[in-house]
Chains A and B, each alone.
Chain A
Amino acid sequence: MADVIDSSATNSSAIRNSASGGTIAGHSTGGPHWTPLQEIDARDLGSQTNDLLDELQPDVSVAAIPLQIRAEIHSSGQNVALRRWPAVEVESQHLPKSPGVMPSWKPTRPKIATYGLQFPEGMSLIAKAAADGKSDHSDQSKAGKSDPPPIEILPGYEPPTLASLVDGLVEEPKPKQVTRIKPPDDALAIEDRLFYLLQPPLQSWLAGQELIMPFEPFPYQYEGIGWLFSKSSALLADEMGLGKTMQTITAIRLLVRSGQVRRVLLVCPKPLLPNWQREFRTWAEELPFVVVEGDGERRKLTWTIPGVPVLIANYESVVRDFAAFGEGEFPKFDLIVLDEAQRIKNRTSRTAETARALPRRRSWALTGTPIENRPEELGALYEFLEVVPPNATPDLRQLQSLAKQFILRRTKNLVMKDMPPRLDRDAYLELLPAQKSAYEMAENEGVVQLNNLGDSITVQHVFELVLRLKQITNFDPLTGESAKLDRLEADMEEIAASGGKAILFSQWTKVIDWLAKPMEKYGALIYHGGVPNKQREPILARFKEDPDAHILLMSYGTGAVGLNLQFAGYVFLFDRWWNPAIEDQAINRAHRIGCKSQVIVTRFISKDTIEERIDKVLTEKRELFAAILGDGDDTNVTLSMNASEIFGLFDLKARHGKGTRVIGPKPVV
């Protein structure tokens, strides 16, 4: 069969040989591989092939294709070589009797290098709810039922949303927000960075599981808490009313809980001590604190009392007691927080020097007005934060660069979506006849006197005249006539009828006392520097709780800072302060986080008087201040009125080149 296939692939003559029972000519004869093809008639070839196929068909199923190729070997004289058999040599190979050793592989468990980090043990503090034997699975709902602080100014509010402010709008479920703590830029070691990265999101940390939060913070507050948590040096400079206190307390709480701090000192102005105590009770009920107060011996004992994570002291105590301790004996703190840190803006003051000398690991400063007058004030704060060398005077560029790293400032405009609006309405009032004549007389006489002073005139002289005129715009000292009071009574009638509450600010305690009588029918309460400290908290509590107390009369100095009066929907500025930042602080007692409705701010401005002129200057300054702070915290604008501006009120010129000296009175704190 092989022959047949072979032959069919070569030539047709071979096929014929095979079919007749012979062998391939070449193999049997030893002749040439190729025999010359005999001439065959094409028809014969076709018929023979068919015969062949007929015989084969039972055995094979392939059809042979007749090839009609003629192979002719050219006679070259070497054809004999083609008949020769190729030489074949045989070589024997010795195979191995058994297989040799091959590479083997067994699974082994390689040793793997690891890196580990254990988190410090936090202080185990027991929340009141848990201590009472309540399950903490529903802490959120029970938080409000825990022991109320003795005086609670914060109402049990829910954070307002835009939707909740508009009737008929159904609030859509908010997308879940996650605030992660970022490692600070100066954390380079891997363990430091992992410590922050592996902390849970603040929302779940503070979601009432392990730490009870009485109220849900706003997104920007979460951001502030996370920022403070990760900072050794921080200046939280949020605008007033955005919740610096709550952010600070919560960050302290998290630091204590995560074992980062064990002893914290909070320093604040004396009038704010009750406020901080109340806020600590509200926002960190499980965190024990002690106020440094009493006589020297008791204070000394308090400073060194062990096991208390938070001490609260006022600036005066700190300065006095630090000096009383011997060198190196003052207790060391893991964190020192300065509230209203503008108190140390003068770096050579004793307060500033003491603050810088306090032994500590972390330094935080809180202020709503990081720059009240000059950028150098920021330098003093940086020195406390230990981010500039002692006595350094960073230029504006350095201040900006440091601000990016160490200052967090948010304005209400940035977070306004979380807050109801503040509506400013200026009330321009005509003086009443008696007021007007008294005013004109005083002004004319005053200017004449000033001119008579000649070169001996000082800003103080001008300032005195301004004060006298401002008092007349409030009320005529002889007749008691007052355009402002008339307007106030009209407004208060409406406010009281609707159950609203108002705060009124004046520069003078005398004016406040004078207003008390006509405002008696609206349940007026008085809160100024003349009111003893112990009576102040009950007054605030009554203002909040007594439905008949519709107005609180306050002085800028005592009432402007730190108080939470967000249940008041109206603010009256009976007369104007010199510095718009102080006025803003006053307004922000009511217009702050937690206020449920808009706050209407009314400024009384007497037409064609010194007040209108001051207002013009202050408005311009406010616009400038807003423009600069909007882009950052770099400003060298002088917010208080300077001597040149005071002289300008009466078309007088500043003498002796003291045109930029600040003469505005300092608020009494």
Chain B
Amino acid sequence: MSNGNHDQFRLGFLTAVEDAERGYVGGLLITNRFGRPLEFQCTAPVKPNRTQQILYGPTLKPYVLSELIGRTLLEKVGVKPHLILLESLDLLDLRSVTSTPVASLVLAPDASRPALQEQGDGKEVATATVLPNSLRLGNEVVVFHSTHDEDRTEIEKFAKLVPVDADLREPFERVREALAETVRLSAARPA
């Protein structure tokens, strides 16, 4: 991305939903910096078998979400994002399989907005910014992978391109809704 062409900046919103019967379905929405969709990719349901469940143990979920779903989606997507956003720290390991900076929103999706506290000078700062490996992006605080400190510089650069009031949780809602729709439609379709 050239510095002069901010409109080329693309964000990737990656998340997955779990279907009790079919397993995990992942979705990746690429948008421009204002949230307008450019591309969407989703996976077929991924259900770990019994062997995987036993052998991966507690690492199963990060494995399925990051290595299987996340990596596949990033490989498939045609419009490559400059920054991948996640809404769960479970997926942060995705950074180990991609060269694109990855950041996760800090709070759980059902939690309220990041708490803002007023400093003495009247400036509002997010309390979460005191977390290591975190910084402000849009109206959220994001965390990047501890082993990739170089992501801080990159994300700081992107942070300037994202409007300060951009709601970074909202696109995840769209992805979840789209995933629910694909699961619903594929379930309704005769095999």
A is bound by B: yes
Chain A contact residues, CB within 8 Å of chain B: 105, 107, 109-110, 112-119, 122, 137, 178, 190, 193-194, 197-201, 204-205, 207, 209-210, 257-258
Q: Is the CB of B41 within 8 A of A190?
A: no
4 A-B pairs with the lowest CB-CB distances in the bound complex, closest first: A113-B44, A210-B34, A200-B35, A116-B41
Q: Do the beta carbons of A190 and B35 come within 8 Å of each other?
A: no
Which stretch, B85-93, B121-129, B146-154, B163-171, touches the partner chain A? B163-171
Which A residues lie within 8 Å of B29 (CB)? 198
Chain A proximity of B167: nearest CB distance (Å): 6
Q: Is the CB of B39 within 8 A of A190?
A: no
Which residues of A are found within 8 Å of B40, using beta-carbon distances?
A: 116-117, 119, 194, 198
Q: Closest approach, in angstroms, between the C-beta of B134 and any C-beta of chain A?
A: 23
Contact of B43 with A by CB under 8 A: yes
Contact A112 B174 (CB under 8 A): no
Contact of A209 among B34, B72, B77 (CB under 8 A): B34
Determine whether the beta carbon of B39 is less than 8 Å from that of A204: no
A198/B174 contact (C-beta < 8 A), A114-B43, A114-B72, A193-B185 known: yes
Is B67 a contact of A109 with CB atoms below 8 Å? yes
Which of B29, B35, B175 has the most chain A CB atoms inside 10 A of its CB?
Answer: B35
Decide: A258 and B67 in contact? CB cutoff 8 A. Answer: no
Q: Cβ of B76: which chain A residues have Cβ within 8 Å of it?
A: 114, 116
* Binary A-proximity of B158-187 (CB < 8 A = 1, otherwise 0): 000001111100110011011001100100
A143: min CB distance to chain B, Å: 15
Residue B37 lies at the interface, judged by CB distance under 8 Å to chain A: yes
Roughly how many angstroms separate A210 CA and B177 CA in the complex, as a whole number?
A: 24
Is B51 an interface position by the 8 A CB rule?
A: yes
Prevailing SS type, chain B contact patch: mixed
Residues from chain A with a CB closer than 8 A to the CB of B174 are: 197-200
- Knowing A200-B37, A200-B174, say if A190 contacts B44 (CB, 8 Å): no
Looking at the complex, which one of B35, B72, B182 makes contact with A112 (CB distance below 8 Å)? B72
Q: Given A137-B163, A194-B178, A210-B36: A114 and B41 within 8 A (CB)?
A: yes
- How far apart are the CA atoms of A137 and B67 in the complex, in Å? 37
Contacts of A201 in B (CB 8 A): 170
Given contacts A112-B72, A198-B29, contact A190 B77 (CB under 8 A): no
Chain B: interface residue total (CB-CB under 8 A): 41
- Docked CA distance A456–B181 (Å): 70
Q: Cα distance A117–B43 when bound, in Å?
A: 12
> Would you give the shortest CB distance from A388 to chain B, in whole angstroms?
29
A105 touches which of B39, B42, B55 (Cβ 8 Å):
B55
Residues of chain B within 8 A of A118, CB atoms compared: 38-39, 78-79
B 35-66 binary contact with A (CB < 8 Å = 1; else 0): 11111111110100001000100000000000
Inside 8 A of B164's CB, which chain A residues have their CB? 137
Chain B residues contacting A209 (CB-CB under 8 Å) are: 34, 163, 166
The residues of A that contact B115 with a CB separation of less than 8 Å are none
- Looking at the assembled complex, report how far the CB atom of A199 sits from the nearest CB atom of chain B, in whole angstroms: 7
Asked if A197 meets B178 with Cβ closer than 8 Å, knowing A114-B73, A205-B35, A205-B36, the reply is: yes
What are 25 of the A-B contact pairs (CB < 8 Å)? Answer: A107-B55, A110-B68, A112-B69, A113-B44, A114-B41, A114-B43, A114-B76, A116-B40, A116-B41, A116-B76, A119-B36, A119-B38, A122-B36, A178-B170, A190-B181, A190-B185, A193-B185, A194-B178, A199-B174, A200-B34, A200-B174, A204-B167, A205-B36, A210-B32, A257-B36
- What's the least CB distance linking A258 to chain B, in Å? 7
Chain B residues, CB < 8 A from A204:
34-35, 166-167, 170
Query: Is A109 within 8 A of B68, CB to CB?
Result: yes
Cβ contacts under 8 Å, A207 to chain B: 165
* B171–A115 CB distance below 8 A: no
Are B44 and A198 in contact (CB-based, < 8 A)?
no
User: Cβ of B34 and Cβ of A112 under 8 Å apart?
Assistant: no
Contact (Cβ within 8 A) A116 B39: yes
Given A116-B41, A209-B34: A197 touches B72 (CB 8 Å cut-off): no
Instruction: Give the contacting residue for B68; candidates A112, A178, A194, A210; CB below 8 A.
Output: A112
B63 nearest CB neighbor, chain A only = A107
What B residues does A137 contact at CB under 8 A? Answer: 163-164
Q: Contacts of A115 on B, CB cut-off 8 Å? A: 41-44, 182
With the chains together, A201 CA to B171 CA distance in Å?
Answer: 9
**A110 proximity list for chain B (CB < 8 A):** 68
Cβ contact of A258, chosen from B36, B163, B175, cutoff 8 A: B36
A194/B38 contact (C-beta < 8 A), A113-B44, A114-B72, A118-B78 known: no
Per a CB cutoff under 8 Å, which of A105, A178, A198, A210 touches B37? A198
- Cβ contact within 8 Å between B170 and A200: yes
**Which residues does chain A contribute within 8 Å of B77, judged by CB atoms?**
116
The answer to whether A119 and B67 touch across the interface, beta carbons within 8 angstroms, is no
**Which A residues touch B41, using CB under 8 A?**
114-117
Interface centre among A110, A178, A198 (most CB of B within 10 A): A198
Given contacts A109-B67, A137-B163, A200-B170, contact A193 B181 (CB under 8 A): yes
Q: Name the distance in Å between A445's Cβ and chain B's nearest Cβ.
A: 72
Q: With a CB–CB cut-off of 8 A, which chain B residues contact A197? A: 174, 177-178, 181
Q: A109-B68, A205-B36 are in contact. List 19 more A-B contacts (CB 8 A).
A: A105-B55, A114-B42, A114-B44, A115-B42, A116-B42, A117-B39, A117-B41, A119-B37, A119-B40, A194-B178, A197-B177, A198-B29, A198-B40, A204-B34, A204-B167, A204-B170, A209-B166, A210-B36, A257-B36
Residues of A within 8 A of B182 (CB): 115, 190, 194
A198 CB contacts on chain B under 8 angstroms: 29, 37, 40, 174-175, 178
